[in-house]
Structure 1
């Protein structure tokens, strides 16, 4: 008697990422990363989680600088840009997205965001700062963490 093999059926479009996290900070490379991640999310029918990490600057706060107000304004500006871009594409491309803010340094903030949002993939822009080539950028640290597929957009 022949041994029965279990039947495996291929399901198109169900094996890709369900949640894609993209880090944005208003820089050109982060906005390119958001555009790239948006395309991935659209093609995979995934949720695009747009994340802004609000820096905690104890030194600035000690001198009376309005750090929280400034980073809140940046977050508001980013979400306005995202809503505007989504509005322009309405009816052409459908992308499910959410905007999240976390406080902290960029690396730890993105790790926390990816963990809390159960990310299947992380997309970030390449660092535009020359010193990061020596010390290590957020993107390199995320790749080295090895916890999610990480795409670095130039």
Structure 2
């Protein structure tokens, strides 16, 4: 006796069906975030996924109220990060090709990455481990993302 099984096509968007389509990596210019970007780039290349590189611009209302050019400073950081990523992609072109996009969101890092992951329909999130000692006590962005349990999260040391 032979059994035949037919599979019904999935209706609408479903995460995790054929491997990741979008891998999100949070970058802020720190060494750990740049290692996370390199790791995520390798994952994206092997999975033929889109690498969504996300920088979350901090909103510092107190500094802005005092007239500090906060937006200009964080825009400069974003521009530097894009330039660094473009340079790295240019150096490995033809050897290590990966589709990537750069996105900037505003807010605190955790909420900015959550918003980015939701809007970009990320299948996985990669972040660098916190370099701040205090985060061992109160929790880092990485720990908060893992505890949220909404996406597979890889924390790169």
TM-score by length of 2: 0.91
Deviation at 1:107, TM superposition (A): 0.1
Query: Which structure 2 residues correspond to residues 1-154 of structure 1 after superposition, within 5 A?
Result: 2-6=1-5, 15-154=18-157
Structure 1: which 5+ runs fail to align?
A: 9-13
SS in 2 for 1:99: strand
| RMSD of equivalent CA atoms | 1.3
SS in 2 for 1:115: helix
The separation in 1 between residues aligned to 2:148 and 2:50, in whole angstroms, is: 23
The separation in 1 between residues aligned to 2:63 and 2:4, in whole angstroms, is: 65
SS in 2 for 1:17: coil
Q: Deviations over 1:79-119 (max 9, x none)?
A: 00000000001111110000000000000000000000000
SS in 2 for 1:40: helix
Aligned length, in residue pairs: 148
Deviation at 1:3, TM superposition (A): 4.8
The separation in 2 between residues aligned to 1:39 and 1:64, in whole angstroms, is: 42
SS in 2 for 1:124: strand
The separation in 1 between residues aligned to 2:41 and 2:59, in whole angstroms, is: 28
Tell me which stretches of 4 or more aligned residues in structure 1 moved more than 4 Å.
none
SS in 2 for 1:52: strand
TM-score by length of 1: 0.93
